[in-house]
Structure 1
Amino acid sequence: MSTTTSTNLSQQEMDQLIAQYDKESAVRQFTGPMKWITFILLVLFSVYQLSSTLFFTIPPQIHRPIHLAFGLGLVYLLYAGTKKGKGSKVGIINLILALLGVIVCLYWVFDYEGLVTRTGNYTTLDMLVGGVAILLVLEAARRVVGVPITLIASIFLLYTYFGPYMPGFLEHRGSDVERIIGHSYYTLEGILGTPLAVSSTFIFLFVLFGAFLEKTGVGEYFNDLSLVIAGRRIGGPAKVAVFSSALQGTISGSSVANVVTSGAFTIPMMKRLGYRSEFAAAVEASSSTGGQIMPPVMGAAAFLMAEFIGVPYLEIAKSAALPAILFFVGIWIMTHFEAKRLGLRGLTKEELPDKKEVLKKMYLLLPIVIIITALMMNFSAERSAIIGIVSTIVVGAFRKETRMSITDILEALASGARMALGVVAATACAGIIVGTITLTGIGLKLANGLIDLAGGQLFLTLFFTMIASLILGMGTPTTANYIITSTIAAPALVQLGVPEIAAHMFTFYFGIVADITPPVALAAFAAAGIAKSKPIRTGVESTRLSVAAFMAPYIFVVSPALLLIDTTFFESIWVMFTSTIGMIGVGAGLIGYWMAKLNPFERILAVAGGILAVIPGIETDIAGFVLLGLVFGYSLFKARKQRQQLQTTA
């Protein structure tokens, strides 16, 4: 069986579904000359990024504006400002805005030395260009990312100006318009700051790597490989969704895109075998969202984390490995118990792709192995990404069906640039927020305010940080969400003794989980669109399935051994072991089945025992294991008794 025949959605329907729930994918579909103009510009964007990494050393005050010039120009060409403007025509206003976006960015390029020497003493023209640049960035973010991030950035700008009128600890001396514009656009602490720097280096190249992988058919191969590995197990399609989504995260930076790509064939299979629509959609949504936390190539915010903390990206990926495994183990466990509860079978041999043919294509995984090896050999993230891109082209040439033609390479270059536009807009807008935070000092004030609100209690501070991340995640992408919460909340956690990488990872996790947390759960809603299930119920089911994602951050804050921080191999394995046992108990309790159906009291004991086993500490581990042993033993006794009754009846 081929994955292409197992989907109930056409490519057009998939594109429409992605565009509906993922604003970054809602681009205009051009025909005629404009189609080729935008295609050429997208290709040139990728070519510039590759060239600047391989051949040129360009000052950041020139490289970042060029990166932004491509981004702003293409955003205004490809993204409509209103719902009515989503046709195939650009319109004169959008053409003007695109041209202005390029001009204000190239202003930096052509007057680089003058702007550097005029620092703090800008001309009227400088102020005009800087002001227009800020407005264009805000509008670009609104079009691509959404209103919330634009609104937050605007509030921070107003706060910077009206500082003297703010109440209590929020009061500051304020800044005039000239200083705000100068700091926001003519320094490396605002729009052109660290977020855009990471976008213009690591993130763009890894997004491009994902585009090349997709073009060689790796995405479809992940589905086939997952079917071979997990398809015949109990409740096979659900486990296929878990496995394939973990792999798909390597080539997709979007939870929604991941949902639609793999869910188009896993969700119909799950429904056919007897899973409820909401459960089937939730399995896919949860697994697809987890793809962003699965090394070796994680979500874009992970690259920002490496830059903010000042460690190699490999350290971030290494620290994220065990929590990511725990997350997917948790979903796997719950799908298994649900399948056992419903008595669902796995797929038959006839329903699976040919095992020999799938194994013949194992070479398609080589680029991922190569990029991991490059990172482990201390190659820079940029060089590793380029090595990955080149290896994808070379490996794809092994067989005719995966060999990339010149046209395929050009399409991959264009696709990668188009996928990166959302990151460009989000990081540029987030740069405004970061710039105002450094200008006003509000970051430290809010961090102290957060600690005061929590009464200095670590758990309450963690809880408030989680809530803030989830709320922000309803309207902002993970990248922007992480930038905001890590700037405000992570310092508060560090003040309370949390290791820096654990503090940042905590905010990163909950920014991602927001994609499946109601009332606005875009990944869950996209999955509901495929399953024809109720969106809110799907979101609730996704949250239940992703209990590991809600527990893991608290575990690694209390016990950094899970992040491989200052620990031994044995300690990390022990934390992983106890957490996994705990997840089995929690999963059994939430589903209501272990070896046999659990009654309400048994379910409560299973969840309690699971939570105790998850909490680090010898005493809690022993208590948790005792409770889980009792529930498991009684469940096993009931299962044997039921089998004996059936045998007696037969």
Structure 2
Amino acid sequence: ALHYAYHLFMLGFLLYVGLQSRQGITLTQFYALVGGTLLSALSPLSPLSLPRLADALVQGAKAAIPVSVATAAAGIVVGVVGLTGVGLKFSGLVLSASGGVTLVALVLVAVASLVLGMGLPVTASYIVLVILAGPALADLGVPLIIAHLVVFWLSQDSNVTPPVALAAYAASGLAQADPMRSGFMAWKFAKGLYLIPLLMVYRPGVMLEGGAALVAKDLLLGLLALAAFVGALEGFLFRPLAPGARLALLLGGVLVFFPGFGLELLGAGLVLAALLWARLTRRSVSG
């Protein structure tokens, strides 16, 4: 592996050009292509020959076709949204339907991402959703960068939402499993991703904002919430869970999102108690 460590130089060079020298994205990509080609040509293990270069260009063009089609389709959608004013209407609809409550607006955006994920890949889903829902979240007081991250995170749903589910279909090909069944199982298992936008909005420490104590507390509560949601959804955490344990996990996972030391402590206590009980009683059940 050390023989290929020189590729790390290209990564550092690309980061420098893109971040420090303030070059545009097009020029940065050009530098990356030229630098990568020169490094490959000078490689002592597998120097880049003209036939290999031609094959790389062909493979790159083939790989760019799906992205180009998705980008073109997204451009059409963006143009239609801009010309018809659907974006403003959608933002107003989200604001009116949510009643100014950020949590309700996040739920509506999540539903929209689920619908878009059924027919669009990740990039197109993100572009469309951020145009439609981004202004609504910003109007509700969500910082712009957080609004973009929330929309981007929710747009990942298209990777695991049939009938698109590109990531699930790729995994089913590797596992030689049924693609549609893999897609639905991936969609089920990935529902924990809906908690991350809530953590971004209500737990700023997850985004490394605030002091060290706040960051540590929010990260710990976020991990507990994810573990609680997984256990409550699957009904299994170290061992099969009874309905009471699943309810305790769900209640504890919800409480950690509410501000206030008392509710946070109660929610974390419920989750930790359920985790400890499941861990200690695992052997008795398996035996």
TM-score (norm 2): 0.80
1:510/1:550 contact within 8 Å kept: yes
Matches within 5 A, 1:76-155: none
- Partner residue of 1:523 out of 167, 180, 201: 167
Aligned-partner Cα distance in 2 for 1:540–1:591:
14
- Name the residue aligned to 1:599: 242
- Cα displacement (A) at 1:468: 1.6
Deviations 1:156-190 (A, max 9, x none): xxxxxxxxxxxxxxxxxxxxxxxxxxxxxxxxxxx
Deviations 1:405-434 (A, max 9, x none): 233233333333333333434334433433
Matches within 5 A, 1:391-410: 391-396=35-40, 397-401=42-46, 403-410=47-54
Deviations 1:270-314 (A, max 9, x none): xxxxxxxxxxxxxxxxxxxxxxxxxxxxxxxxxxxxxxxxxxxxx
Aligned-partner Cα distance in 2 for 1:408–1:619:
64
- Cα displacement (A) at 1:364: 4.2
- Partner residue of 1:507 out of 144, 148, 151: 151
1:366/1:395 contact within 8 Å kept: no
Report the CA distance shift for 1:609/1:392 in structure 2 as closer, same or farther (over 3 A). farther
2:202/2:257 contact within 8 Å kept: no
Report the CA distance shift for 1:560/1:421 in structure 2 as closer, same or farther (over 3 A). farther
- Name the residue aligned to 2:139: 495
Matches within 5 A, 1:126-525: 358=1, 360-380=3-23, 381-396=25-40, 397-401=42-46, 403-518=47-162, 520-525=164-169
Report the CA distance shift for 1:498/1:588 in structure 2 as closer, same or farther (over 3 A). same
- Name the residue aligned to 1:585: 228
Q: CA RMSD in A?
A: 3.3
- Name the residue aligned to 2:280: 637
Report the CA distance shift for 1:632/1:416 in structure 2 as closer, same or farther (over 3 A). same
2:95/2:136 contact within 8 Å kept: yes
1:575/1:616 contact within 8 Å kept: no
Report the CA distance shift for 1:426/1:538 in structure 2 as closer, same or farther (over 3 A). closer
Report the CA distance shift for 1:409/1:461 in structure 2 as closer, same or farther (over 3 A). same
1:502/1:560 contact within 8 Å kept: no
Aligned-partner Cα distance in 2 for 1:359–1:584:
37
In the alignment, structure 1 residue 563 sits paired with structure 2 residue 200: no
- Name the residue aligned to 1:261: none
For 1:498, what is the secondary structure of its paired residue?
coil
- Cα displacement (A) at 1:642: 7.0
- Cα displacement (A) at 1:516: 0.5
Aligned-partner Cα distance in 1 for 2:261–2:33:
47
Gaps of 5+ in 2: none
Number of aligned residue pairs: give it: 285
Q: Letter of the aligned partner of 1:581 in structure 2?
A: L
Aligned-partner Cα distance in 2 for 1:616–1:374:
42
Aligned-partner Cα distance in 1 for 2:27–2:211:
31
In the alignment, structure 1 residue 551 sits paired with structure 2 residue 195: yes
TM-score (norm 1): 0.39
For 2:281, what is the secondary structure of its paired residue?
helix
- Cα displacement (A) at 1:390: 4.2
1:426/1:479 contact within 8 Å kept: yes
Q: Letter of the aligned partner of 1:400 in structure 2?
A: L
Report the CA distance shift for 1:618/1:419 in structure 2 as closer, same or farther (over 3 A). farther
2:248/2:274 contact within 8 Å kept: yes
- Cα displacement (A) at 1:544: 3.3
Report the CA distance shift for 1:520/1:400 in structure 2 as closer, same or farther (over 3 A). closer
Report the CA distance shift for 1:520/1:434 in structure 2 as closer, same or farther (over 3 A). closer
Aligned-partner Cα distance in 2 for 1:619–1:541:
37
Gaps of 5+ in 1: 1-357
For 1:416, what is the secondary structure of its paired residue?
helix
Aligned-partner Cα distance in 2 for 1:597–1:457:
36
Aligned-partner Cα distance in 2 for 1:390–1:621:
53
1:448/1:492 contact within 8 Å kept: yes
Aligned-partner Cα distance in 2 for 1:503–1:522:
25
Report the CA distance shift for 1:534/1:613 in structure 2 as closer, same or farther (over 3 A). farther
